[in-house]
C-alpha cells in the first residue's frame, strides 16, 4: 500500500472510531407542542415533531409552553409536562417474550407514565434525586420540584427506594419524598383537584394541537360532551385500514381532537373520581 493510501485508510479509521454507535430507536413522538427538544447520545439537540424517533439514552426537555407524548415499543407512553427534563436511560424490550426493562431518569418537572407490556412485569423504574420508584401495573404521575418528589399512583402498585429504605404505595394514594436521605411521607389519598391539575399539565391546552395541524377542536358548546358527567364527544368516522400504522394514526388524531377541543374547564368530578371500578 502506498503512503497516500495508508494516509487515507488511517484517516477513515479515525473517523469511524470517533463516530458514535448507531442509536437504537425505542419509540416515537406521537404528540408535540412547542417547544420540545431531544438530544440523542452523541448528537445535537433538535426540536421534536410528531413522528420523530425516540432513541435509547435520548435526553428530552420541554420549555414553559412545551409538552410531549412518547409511545414506546412495548405500547407504554410517557406524557411530559412543560418545564420538564428527563433521559430515557435504559430501554430493552423483546416483543417475542414481552420481556425487558425500562429506566427513566427525571431531573425536573412532571411526567405521566401509562404502562405497557414491561410494566405488567414490574420492570419499569422512574429514578429521581429523591427516590427511585418501580411501577407494576399501572399509571403513575411523578412531579419533581424544589420541595422534592410527589409520586402519584393512579393504578397498580408502586415500590420505592431511597437512602432510608424501601416503601410501597397502592392505587389512588400518593407520597411526598423530600430528598434521598429523608424517609418518605406517609401515603395519603390523592386529592381529586390535585389529580386533575397534574393530568391537565401533561395535556395540550386550548389553542394547541399536539403537533397535528388542523385539529383545533370539535364543534361543541358548553359541557355538551367530553366532561366527567356526560358522554364523550362524537368521534370521526373510522376508516377501514389494512395496517396497524394507519389504525394508530387514527387513534392519535381522534385523541388529539378530544384533548384539544376549546371547551371551558369542566366542573369538579365526584370525590370518588379516582376509584378503580
pLDDT tens-place string over residues 85-112:
999 999 999 999 989 999 999 999 999 9
d(CA 192, CA 273): 7
Q: Tell me the CA end-to-end span of the chain in Å, nearest whole number.
A: 75
d(CA 267, CA 274): 15
d(CA 119, CA 209): 29
Describe the chain by its helix, strand, coil percentages, rounded to 5.
Answer: 15, 35, 45
pTM for this one? 0.72
pLDDT tens track for 16-65 = 344 344 568 999 999 999 889 999 998 899 999 999 999 999 999 999 99
- What top-level class would CATH report for the domain 3-201? mainly beta
User: Taking the domains of the chain in order of start, what are their residue ranges?
Assistant: 3-201, 209-277
Task: Report residue 85 as a C-alpha cell.
Answer: 427534563
Amino acid at each position: 500500500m502506498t503512503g497516500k493510501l495508508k494516509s487515507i485508510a488511517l484517516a477513515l479509521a479515525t473517523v469511524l472510531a470517533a463516530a458514535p454507535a448507531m442509536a437504537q430507536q425505542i419509540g416515537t413522538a406521537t404528540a408535540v407542542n412547542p417547544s420540545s427538544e431531544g438530544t440523542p447520545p452523541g448528537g445535537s439537540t433538535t426540536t421534536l415533531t410528531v413522528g420523530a424517533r425516540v432513541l435509547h439514552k435520548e435526553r428530552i426537555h420541554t420549555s414553559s409552553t412545551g409538552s410531549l407524548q412518547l409511545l414506546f415499543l412495548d405500547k407504554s407512553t410517557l406524557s411530559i409536562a412543560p418545564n420538564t427534563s428527563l433521559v430515557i436511560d435504559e430501554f430493552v424490550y423483546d416483543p417475542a417474550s414481552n420481556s425487558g426493562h425500562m429506566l427513566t431518569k427525571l431531573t425536573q418537572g412532571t411526567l405521566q407514565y401509562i404502562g405497557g407490556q414491561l410494566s405488567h412485569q414490574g420492570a419499569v423504574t422512574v429514578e429521581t434525586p429523591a427516590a427511585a420508584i418501580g411501577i407494576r401495573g399501572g399509571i403513575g404521575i411523578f412531579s419533581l420540584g424544589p420541595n422534592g418528589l410527589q409520586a402519584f399512583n393512579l393504578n397498580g402498585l408502586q415500590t420505592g427506594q431511597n437512602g432510608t429504605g424501601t416503601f410501597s404505595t397502592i392505587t389512588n394514594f400518593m407520597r411526598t419524598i423530600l430528598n434521598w436521605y429523608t424517609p418518605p411521607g406517609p401515603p395519603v389519598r390523592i386529592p381529586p383537584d390535585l389529580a386533575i391539575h397534574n393530568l391537565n399539565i401533561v395535556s395540550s391546552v386550548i389553542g394547541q394541537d399536539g403537533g397535528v395541524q388542523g385539529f383545533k377542536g370539535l364543534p361543541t358548546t358548553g359541557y355538551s360532551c367530553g366532561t366527567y358527567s356526560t358522554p364523550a364527544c362524537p368521534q370521526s368516522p373510522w376508516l377501514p385500514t389494512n395496517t396497524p400504522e394507519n389504525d394508530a394514526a387514527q387513534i392519535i388524531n381522534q385523541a388529539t381532537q378530544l384533548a384539544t377541543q376549546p371547551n371551558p374547564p369542566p366542573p369538579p368530578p365526584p370525590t370518588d373520581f379516582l376509584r378503580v371500578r
